[in-house]
Chains A and B, each alone.
Chain A
Amino acid sequence: MQNVNLMAHRITVYSIIALLALPIMATFVYSLSSHWGASILPDGFTFKWYAELFSDSRFIAAFGRSLFVCVLALVLAMLLMLPTIFVVFYYFPQYDKVMNILILLPFAVPPVVSSVGLLQFYADSPFTMLGTPWILIGTYFTIALPFIYRAVSNSFIAINVKDLVDAAHLLGASTPKAFLFVILPNLKKGIMASMFLSFSFLLGEFVFANILVGTRYETLQVYLYNMRQTSGHFTSALVMTYFAFIFLCTWLGSRFSKGNLS
């Protein structure tokens, strides 16, 4: 009885996982096959699609732009969020609730809706924002916000901020010094974990990139979309490369959040 049950649970888990893995595996096989026409199995295997991809300067450029935008957005988000979370936890712990509602906004408002507002608001702003990476950096900050707030505030909860800072004050440290020497080193785990997780999320962002910027500053996802008319094998190689990168980031992120690295 027990064994039959266990078997049933195993089958359930493995078949759902297989279902989830199927598109990824298929794309992987497709990216390595020389030709896969109207047949169930491919004709032969090759690395030429990857070679073609990595020699495409447009791909390299798009990848570089994506990295630039995502890294800058994350740095910006951290610079804005760390002092904010510190102030919330040290001075106004009762506002943690408010923050938890605020950070739901980027989740709750579909990006398409935000872009409508952003297009109208920045259409007649004194600086050109639309079509530049800067507007993406700003919007990506909002996307990363919930990830960062959750992870970093968990790190904050794990330490006794109030007593640590008070102790540092009595030992002669100013508030910025107390933050730098006493609080920040203890947030490393939360910071690194949320950086990697939101990085992989941002790298997959398409809506803002396509609507607000488009080909004027072609990022990875927009490039991928624009390549839809080329060979499916080529786009598969592209998708797999992207996915390998995501894999790396999520893996690093979960390693950090579990604390295996420090």
Chain B
Amino acid sequence: MNHNAPSLPLTTSVRYKRRLMPKLNRLKPIVAVLPFIVFFYLFQLTPLFWVLVNSFISEGEWSLEHYQEILDSAFILQGFKNSVWLAFWSSLFGLLIAACLVSSLRHLDGKIRDAVVAFTNMSSNFSGVPLAFAFIIILGTNGALTLLLKQYGIIDDFNLYGSHGLLALYIYFQIPLGALLLYPAFDALKKDWQEAAALLGASQRQYWLKIALPVLSPALLGTFIILFANAIGAYASVYALTAGNFNVVTVRIASLVSGDLFLEPNLAAAISVVLIGLLAFITAINQWLVSRSYHAKR
């Protein structure tokens, strides 16, 4: 084999160039990432930054006035209260129902399992405006289900447009999301564990309390947080259902930037900052709880 084949003249000039610019070559990967950084900065980071800065600006000067305004406004505080109430209960019920679904699903056979996973995947996209419309059709004043329940005397009246109607709607969109987040976590439960526990004399209940729940707890907590954040940030469904008449914090924020009158974007920014702060606080609690679980000790 010929190792000393004459190299083409082209190669020499390329070599010369490469040797001159080793530093520049190292910059190339950075250049490839630059467009991403620019776009991420323009559409994700700057908005956040502007929200933060503007929340401290009142009439062109630095001030805490907007935060004071939030504390003084019973209306805004009620928005927070309603949001937290909706988010908490819908996350809790959503999580419980999703956990039932996922844990029972493990006992059914593969084909059905795949079909159910596919269905939850799809129904997780059934949210926002279309979902609100579907709820009006079945649970609205003249909805089929409302009429059915009324006919059998189970309910007198059902107000879809009040807090309980909204809670039903929220729980509905939390279930598929919760299930999607819990599938992988439940897959981590090994069948051997239950068998080993049974051989050691543990009852079904003891297995769940002593083994399954501790193993699942970080995933359950994490899922709860995501559901909570999802619910507290939800806007489209509640807006579509109540045309902005139900007082939750996202509706407050939106009405201050895009309503027809009383535009106060900097107050909206301050409410946004409080909302983010609330989410950060809850995430921190979650982190603390997870750090106390056995996962952290590995």
The answer on direct contact between A and B (beta carbons under 8 Å) is yes
- CB within 8 Å of B: which residues of A? 5-6, 8-10, 12-13, 16-17, 19-24, 26-27, 30, 36-41, 76, 79-81, 83-84, 86-88, 90-92, 102, 105-121, 138-139, 141-142, 145, 175, 200-201, 204-207, 210-211, 214, 221, 224-225, 228, 232, 235-236, 239, 242-243, 246-247, 250-251, 254
Do residues B35 and A112 form an inter-chain contact, with CB atoms below 8 A? no
Do residues A40 and B51 form an inter-chain contact, with CB atoms below 8 A? no
Task: Tell me the complex Cα distance, A83–B121, Å.
Answer: 29
Contacts of A207 in B (CB 8 A): 235-236, 254
Task: Tell me the complex Cα distance, A105–B276, Å.
Answer: 11
- CB within 8 Å of A: which residues of B? 28-30, 32-33, 35-36, 39-40, 42-51, 54, 97, 100-101, 104-105, 107-108, 112, 116, 118-123, 125-131, 133-138, 142, 144-145, 147-148, 151, 172, 175-176, 226, 229, 232-236, 239-240, 250, 253-254, 257-258, 265, 268-269, 272, 275-276, 279
A-B contact pairs, 6 of them (CB 8 A): A20-B120, A36-B144, A110-B234, A110-B275, A138-B39, A232-B133
Contacts of A239 in B (CB 8 A): 130, 133-134
Do residues A141 and B122 form an inter-chain contact, with CB atoms below 8 A? no
Known contacts A12-B101, A17-B119, A116-B268; is A24 also within 8 Å of B39 by CB? no
Task: Tell me the complex Cα distance, A142–B43, Å.
Answer: 7
Do residues B253 and A112 form an inter-chain contact, with CB atoms below 8 A? yes
Do residues B269 and A117 form an inter-chain contact, with CB atoms below 8 A? yes
Contacts of B108 in A (CB 8 A): 9-10, 13
5 closest pairs, A vs B, by CB?
A: A110-B233, A117-B47, A23-B134, A9-B104, A206-B236
Contacts of B135 in A (CB 8 A): 23
Contacts of A102 in B (CB 8 A): 40
User: Which residue of A is nearest B263, CB measured?
Assistant: A119
Contacts of B265 in A (CB 8 A): 116, 119-120
Do residues A116 and B257 form an inter-chain contact, with CB atoms below 8 A? yes
Task: Tell me the complex Cα distance, A8–B106, Å.
Answer: 12
Contacts of B47 in A (CB 8 A): 113-118, 121
Known contacts A116-B51, A139-B43, A207-B236; is A20 also within 8 Å of B134 by CB? no
Chain B nearest CB from A170 CB (Å) reads 15
User: Which residue of A is nearest B171, CB measured?
Assistant: A19
Known contacts A16-B101, A36-B144, A39-B147; is A87 also within 8 Å of B107 by CB? no
Task: Tell me the complex Cα distance, A23–B134, Å.
Answer: 6
Contacts of A228 in B (CB 8 A): 133, 240
Do residues A84 and B33 form an inter-chain contact, with CB atoms below 8 A? yes
User: Which residue of A is nearest B120, CB measured?
Assistant: A20
Do residues A112 and B144 form an inter-chain contact, with CB atoms below 8 A? no
Chain B nearest CB from A179 CB (Å) reads 9
Contacts of B130 in A (CB 8 A): 27, 204, 224, 239, 242-243
Task: Tell me the complex Cα distance, A27–B123, Å.
Answer: 13
Do residues A112 and B127 form an inter-chain contact, with CB atoms below 8 A? no
Do residues A87 and B121 form an inter-chain contact, with CB atoms below 8 A? no
Task: Tell me the complex Cα distance, A79–B35, Å.
Answer: 9
Do residues B127 and A13 form an inter-chain contact, with CB atoms below 8 A? no
Contacts of B125 in A (CB 8 A): 200-201, 204, 246, 250
Task: Tell me the complex Cα distance, A152–B234, Å.
Answer: 28
Known contacts A204-B128, A206-B128; is A250 also within 8 Å of B122 by CB? yes
Do residues A110 and B138 form an inter-chain contact, with CB atoms below 8 A? no
Task: Tell me the complex Cα distance, A36–B276, Å.
Answer: 44
Do residues B49 and A117 form an inter-chain contact, with CB atoms below 8 A? yes
Known contacts A6-B107, A40-B144, A112-B272; is A106 also within 8 Å of B44 by CB? yes
